């Protein structure tokens, strides 16, 4: 992967900004789960409003990032890989799986599910675009998802594992944010447009 290709790809060029945004959202989403694990579940109305508000903020900031990057480096070119065709089905699996888990009384498996789904997406995207940072992120999220999955109590109605929530925050939160900053630093902010960074 080189900086010029990264900056022209309509999906990659904003991906790290979006990754950083959703890393923060992911950490905030864990708060009601910590409360649930402590036996102090949030009221349904508050939980719904809080969750929808975070998702709306994440989507809105995505549009802001698109405009910001466009002003910074100009119009986008062709995508190296059709990322929309990858993320669309995987996100659908994540959302449908979330609904099925919640209606089935097993909310403890929602975050492990998303760790696996997002991890798979980043591994595929990273391999397809030769972006090693995304391959590493995807691998870490996948392993974290399996670990978090193994920590959950399987019975219906069980609260999420606190250690599993810590794993979520460390990987989908802090580690994803660090990868986002490293990606922007390497390919977007400071790298010369012609700099060749294949395989990095």
pLDDT tens column, 162-185: 999 999 999 999 999 999 999 999
Instruction: State which residues form the domain around 27.
Output: 3-189
Q: Is residue 114 part of a domain?
A: yes
In this prediction, residue 189 has a pLDDT band, given cuts at 50, 70 and 90, of: confident
Question: Collapsing DSSP states into helix, strand and coil, what is residue 62?
Answer: helix
Q: What are phi and psi of 189, to 5 degrees?
A: -80, -50
Q: Is residue 118 part of a domain?
A: yes
* Structure-model confidence comparison of residues 136 and 71, the more confident one: 136
Cα–Cα distance for residue pair 52/118, rounded to 1 Å:
19
For 36-58, how does the pLDDT look when each residue is reduced to its tens digit (9 = 90+)? Answer: 999 999 999 999 999 999 999 99
Q: Is residue 196 part of a domain?
A: no
Q: Is residue 133 part of a domain?
A: yes
Domain count, the chain: 1
Q: Is residue 10 part of a domain?
A: yes
Q: Is residue 198 part of a domain?
A: no
Question: Collapsing DSSP states into helix, strand and coil, what is residue 155?
Answer: coil
Q: Is residue 53 part of a domain?
A: yes
What pLDDT sits at residue 194? 46
Cβ burial 126-149 (10 Å sphere, 16+ → b, else e): beebbbebbbbbbebbbebbebbb
């Amino acid at each position: 992967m080189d900086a010029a290709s990264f900056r022209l790809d309509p999906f990659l060029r904003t991906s790290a900004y979006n990754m950083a945004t959703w890393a923060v959202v992911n950490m905030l989403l864990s708060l009601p789960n910590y409360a649930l694990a402590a036996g102090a579940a949030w009221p349904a109305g508050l939980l719904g409003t809080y969750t929808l508000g975070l998702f709306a903020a994440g989507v809105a900031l995505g549009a802001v990032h698109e405009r910001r990057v466009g002003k910074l480096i100009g119009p986008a070119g062709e995508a190296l890989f059709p990322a929309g065709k990858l993320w669309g089905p995987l996100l659908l699996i994540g959302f449908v799986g979330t609904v099925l888990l919640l209606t089935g009384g097993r909310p403890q498996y929602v975050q492990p599910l998303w760790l696996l789904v997002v991890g798979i997406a980043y591994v595929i995207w990273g391999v397809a675009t030769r972006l090693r940072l995304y391959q590493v992120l995807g691998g870490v999220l996948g392993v974290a998802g399996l670990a978090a999955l193994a920590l959950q109590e399987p019975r219906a109605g069980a609260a999420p594992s606190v250690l599993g929530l810590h794993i979520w925050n460390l990987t989908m939160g802090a580690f994803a944010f660090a990868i986002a900053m490293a990606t922007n630093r390497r390919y977007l902010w400071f790298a010369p447009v012609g700099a060749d960074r294949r395989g990095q």
